[in-house]
Amino acid sequence: MFKQIKQIIIFSYSIRDIGAKRLSLRVYRYLSKKIQSHYLFIFRSNSIQKTLKAPCKWSNILIELREDNLKGKTYTEFKTTSISFNFLNDSKTFHLPMTWHNKNWPRLWQFNLHYFDWAREWLDHAIATGEWQSEAVNLEYLIDNWIDSNPIGFGDAWHSYTISLRTRNWIWLFRSYPRLVTLKRLNSLWIQLQWLQNNLEDYIDGNHYLENLITLAIGGLQFENFKAVKMYEQSIKKIEKQLTIQILPDGGYFERSAYYHNLMLNRLVELALVLESVKGFSPNWLINAIDKLFSWSTSLRLTNGNYPRFNDSPITTNKAIDNILELANSYLYSSIYKGLGLNQNLSKLLLNRENKQLSSQKSLFSQRIVDKPNTGWTLLRIGDGWEFIAKTGKSCPDFLPAHAHSDLFSFDLFHKGIPVLVEAGVSTYQNNIIRKYERSGAAHNIIQFRLIERNLIPIDLDWIESVQTWHSFQAGRKAIILKRNIKELSNGDFVLSLEHDACNKYGINHERTITIGMNDNKKLSLRIVDNIYSKHNIEWRQWFHLGPKQDKQLLDLLSNEFYRKKGFNLSWYETNFSEGFGNRLIRNSLLISGNIFTGKKTLKFEMNF
């Protein structure tokens, strides 16, 4: 009973933060899609095909392949062959004809199948080498089979997000390799764009909605008809408005995930390249948005080339990040793009363009403090290869907690790019116990509290979370930042003073002060002081999660008898560390816990590395 009441309370917070407008939009979009699927859109698709005209020429980015592996072949020749796809560290082999849906697959895996990102990878390889790789011999079959196997409006194939990615990939394929263009495929491309325009994810906002709009802007430039012109004009206006919302004043992306930040940077640069090659210019608001995102990305990149893992930020290969930043740099400063593939062909078109007036010209790797107050991240470059990154601000937009974790005031510590103390990361988007853990406070380097007396608030006996995450992409109450002060002392130490209100409703006030720097022995010194005042008897727990392959001896100072004599309980656990979707490693985590009785209490944790 109490559990159900608590779930209702958390759900009410979610509904409140989503707001009436987005809730009504969600209902409208759901009903609209159902109606279109069964009646309207199937009827209208015939008239859409009749109004279709040949695409406008985009000859200045067409490529010449030295070897045409597809020449003379048709998809009917490959019905007995097989093909394998590997997404999220999970490989599956298909015997043709293809199967595009399976209820036993993880949904994100199925989404990846429908994205056709794998076809874009084949295209990049062909452009870079002049040869299609062997799997690409099935490309024409796979495109046509997708069209034949996925009726309009049904299943994940027609989810607005999968349409956004797939149609852009088809456009790149058709523009780069005109032999792939047939009336059947152009008709399908146009119908998918029309469906997307009628089923925008505007009730969600965030990266999904921006992906929708970028696709419509690019897609609208591919066809010479009135509807295509309107598609482009309407979507480009909406993109401008969304960027004022989705890009924070400090240059961060408002979902506060390095992964989605860099993804949106890449999408906007590709949009700008298309606009400049077709229209001859990019609007200043788009250039400025790219510049802000790029400056944020360069300033917060860690020594190992990756990024902090706060919120949903799966590990991305350095090569992929390098390509994103190099493409943005080549666009902003009209330099030669060093990567290969389609983006190199696009960037070559702009080499003679004059540089724009930009806010920042260089990476900020030399800064000792990189503080992003709107993003809520603070990076400290301490010296001798040590980097400390703390989550010091708001976790997510109130109405969009899909990728938020309960990690306020958590921190990670790196030495020469190697994680020493680090959170669990993200390995799945499935609604399961792993997803629940990875979003919870227990997966991060934070302190938590809970009430001991069960007669006080019986529906709140769990550990208090700074963000009440639930399901795969939902959250209830989100803590408000009360105090955030970061400074560097004259001796070179850094001090962070932090406070939020997650515990206040339970009669608990908590302020954390972190001091970090190099001591006289040239070792890193980390000191954490928690000042707590409670009206009730409470339990507390502090997690310290070691990086993979880090020895327990690193936390010897914390796990010795000194802390046991203080009445603390110390236990070692084996926990998960994610190296990407579907890829988890075992590492060691130290849990320190104890009780606090009513009144004031100060907890101190000190360690040297």
Rounded to an integer, what distance in angstroms lies between the CA atom of residue 584 and that of residue 131? 35
Do residues 191 and 42 make contact, with C-beta atoms less than 8 angstroms apart?
no
Q: How far is it, in rounded angstroms, from Cα 230 to Cα 197? A: 11
Q: For residue 606, which amino acid is it? A: E
pLDDT at site 70: 61
pLDDT of residue 61: 47
pLDDT of residue 223: 87
Burial class (CB in 10 A: 0-12, 13-18, 19+), 551: exposed
pLDDT for residue 366: 58
| Three-state DSSP class for residue 23 | helix
What confidence tier does 69 reach under pLDDT thresholds 50, 70, 90? low
- What is the mean pLDDT of the segment spanning 168-189? 89
Question: Distance between CA 33 and CA 36 in Å, rounded?
Answer: 5
Mean of the pLDDT values across residues 599-603? 95
Quote the pLDDT of residue 52.
46
- Assess whether pLDDT exceeds 50 at residue 456: yes
Distance CA 25, CA 202 (A): 8
Residue 179, pLDDT score: 83
Assigned superfamily of 2-52+60-348: Chondroitin AC/alginate lyase (1.50.10.100)
77-117 per-position pLDDT tens digit: 555 578 999 999 999 999 888 899 999 999 999 999 999 99
Contact present, 4 and 10 (Cβ < 8 Å): no
Q: In CATH terms, are 2-52+60-348 and 369-608 the same topology?
A: no
Provide φ and ψ at 108, rounded to 5°.
-65, -35
Compute the average pLDDT of residues 522-548. 95
pLDDT score for 355: 55
Q: Between 27 and 483, where is the model more confident?
A: 483
Predicted local confidence at residue 73, as pLDDT: 54
At 475, is the secondary structure helix, strand, or coil? strand
Which two structure tokens, joined as six digits, stand for 187? 């008709």
Instruction: Note the pLDDT tens digit of each residue in 181-203.
Output: 888 898 899 999 999 998 999 99
Beta carbons of 168 and 174 less than 8 angstroms apart: no
- Residue 290 confidence (pLDDT): 97
The domain made up of 369-608 has a fold known as: Beta-galactosidase; Chain A, domain 5 (2.70.98)
For the chain, the structural domain boundaries read 2-52+60-348, 369-608
pTM of the model: 0.93
Handedness of CA 307, 256, 204, 285 (dihedral sign): negative
Label residue 76 by pLDDT band (50, 70, 90): low
Nearest to 503 by CA among 546, 460, 469: 460
| Nearest Cα residue to 396 out of 479, 503, 308 | 479
